[in-house]
Amino acid sequence: MAKRFFIAGTDTGVGKSLVAASLLEAANQRGLRSCGLKPLAAGAEETEQGVCNEDALLLQQHASVKLPYAQINPVLLTEPVAPHLAAAHEGRQLSAERLVGFCRGAMMTPCDLMLVEGAGGWRVPINSREMLSELPRRLELPVILVVGMRLGCLNHALLTAEAIRADGLPLAGWVANRIDPNMSCFDENLATLESLIRAPLLGVVPHQSTPDPVDAGQYLSENLELLLAN
């Protein structure tokens, strides 16, 4: 049976896609079947496959189970802004129910590890009543939290971890992604998070000027078994 997790971030731009793709690569190196979904994405560009989102393409590239793009990213909004705003600008209506339906269909794909990546942070609105956090809650997915290591990350990480638990979901683990190479007191901040987040640290991804999931996967590979054993 596939192990399934939701990839959440402490904010936008903290490296959710890099970490998700790196975990897929770590699974691939063990000979496991891996699959990644990005059910909702805001921000599109013209590619060889047509208009696509770069994060969804990254998941498609590094998964060993190759799904059609439309199944990986069924809801694509053009503007790189909050999803409810991007949808309103396009005259579209988002709903958790539709996103859940898309994900359940894709989750029938045989694989060993499936990752569902969110958009932005935990409390991102998708309409006037619902947040994107409703998606993993309805799917009952354990959460992997990506913490973008920079000034302010302690508050963002601890509040997000609290919100995940308040929504009744287990925090399977967290990843420290060093997005600011010049962050002051990095080791002390990391130690603080380790002491206060009630979940295992799955790895520390060093700053990469050009993010490389294959390289970053080695920093997460050791604790992949911890995830798969739960």
Measured CA to CA, the distance from residue 2 to residue 132 in angstroms comes to 23
Region of 31 please: left (phi>0), alpha (psi -120 to 50) or beta.
left
Residue for token pair 């991007």: 86
Q: Give the span between the Cα atoms of 65 and 137, in whole angstroms.
A: 25
Helices 153-166, 186-196: inter-axial angle, 10-degree rounding: 20
Tokens 């063990």, located at residue: 30
- 83 token code pair: 């999803």
One of 3, 16, 38, 66 is an active-site residue; which one? 38
Look up 38 and say whether it is catalytic.
yes
First to last CA, the chain: 12
Rounded CA separation 169/135 (Å): 11
The number of beta carbons lying within 10 Å of the beta carbon of residue 222 is 11
Give the Cα separation of 143 and 85 in Å (integer). 25
- Residues with a known catalytic role: 38
